[in-house]
Amino acid sequence: MGPSNDNELAIARIVDKIEIEGKLYPTAIEDVIATLNFSPSGSDSEFLVNYIRWRLDHPIWKGFSV
């Protein structure tokens, strides 16, 4: 699942940052919206919800240390 416009890209970057920090949870929507520098449209909000769900199912691999 990937972004198809600039607003979705901004949303995806914020969600990914939260996930990398280990703070992504299903109700992180409010945190993401508070971070955006624009008011999300209906389709932006739908992308946000779907992207959070997708990212929770497909976490970013953080590797391992030796």
pLDDT in tens, 13-66: 999 999 999 999 999 999 999 999 999 999 999 999 999 999 999 999 887 766
**Domain of residue 22, residue span:** 6-57
Residue 12 included in any domain: yes
pLDDT at 24: 96
Burial label for 62, CB within 10 Å (0-12, 13-18, 19+), is: exposed
Task: Answer whether residue 12 shows pLDDT above 80.
Answer: yes
Residue 34 included in any domain: yes
Residue 64 included in any domain: no
Residue 37 included in any domain: yes
Residue 45 included in any domain: yes
Task: Answer whether residue 3 shows pLDDT above 80.
Answer: yes
pLDDT at 7: 97
pLDDT at 1: 81
Report how many domains make up the chain.
Answer: 1
